[in-house]
Every structure is written in C-alpha cells, then in structure tokens.
Amino acid sequence: MLKRFGGSVSFKRTWVECENGFGDIHGEFWLGNKYIHMLTSSGKYELRVDMIDNHSNTKYAVYKTFVVGDAASKYKLTVGDYSGNAGDRFGIHNGMKFTTIDQDNDLYYSNCADNNKGSWWYNKCSHCDLTRSNAKPYWRTVVSKPVMMIRKI
C-alpha cells in the first residue's frame, strides 16, 4: 500500500490525491485511502512494514489488526497486536484520522502534514511517519526504503 526508496515522489498531497492514490506501482506510490478501506473492510487484514534503520539493519513490524475506516470517518486507523523487531511506533496512531495538507485531522496545534510535508494518520506529528519529505521516513528514528503491505488473514 506504500513504497518509498528515494524520495522521487512527494507525499505532501491533498485529501483527494491521498484518497485516490498516486505514484507508480513499480516505483514509489500510495495505494489510496479509499482502496485501502475497501480491502480492509472486506475481511480481516494484517499490516507488515519493512524498512532499513540508520545502521543498515532490516527492521519489520507486523500488526495483526489493521483496518482503515471509510471517508466519513476520515479514514480512521485501527491498528493493534504488534510483533516484530522495529518497535511498536504505529500503535500510538491507533484511532487517528488521516491528515493531508488541506484536511487537518491530527491532535497537534498546527497541521502535521504541512509541517512534515507528508500525509499520514498523525497524532502529534512524531512517533512514526513514513511519508515525510526529503526521503526521511521516520519510525522512532530516520529509516529508509519503507514498504507497507497488507494481506488477508
């Protein structure tokens, strides 16, 4: 549902762009919130996030509970049941609504999407953000080459 490896695609996008998806499936991309919702509302799905940390170690996080709500819920995130070696940095975003440059749904006093130049289920702009600008995705620390994948379980 997300792939980044070099920062060639900006994730600082509008609500409609994030809803419909953007990028190139063979390159960097965001699948689109409405499609992620359609998938995760059709059964039980898990999320796996793979990334490289700042010491060139491969890290991963698996969430056995992963659901993205519909547009009326602002694509509210439900995530839980973590396992992996990356640390549970996404869990703090559980229950958050999606924020873009033109729809501020986070808990921070200013728009995290604008501040971080990305679009995400922001809580207060930190903890984890795999869409921030300058090819500097964040998962407790700066990481590279993040990939978010879902599968039906």
Residue pointed to by tokens 């499609």: 35
What pLDDT digit, counting tens, does each position of 88-117 carry? 999 999 999 999 999 999 999 999 999 999
Taking only the tens place, the pLDDT of each residue in 69-84 is: 999 999 999 999 999 9
pLDDT > 90 fraction of the chain, expressed in percent and rounded: 84
Rounded Cα distance, 12 and 18, in Å: 9
Domain enclosing residue 16, as ranges: 2-152
Tens of pLDDT, residue by residue over 113-147, are 999 999 999 998 878 999 988 657 878 778 889 99
Write the CATH number for 58. Answer: 3.90.215.10
20-24-27 Cα angle (round to 5):
135
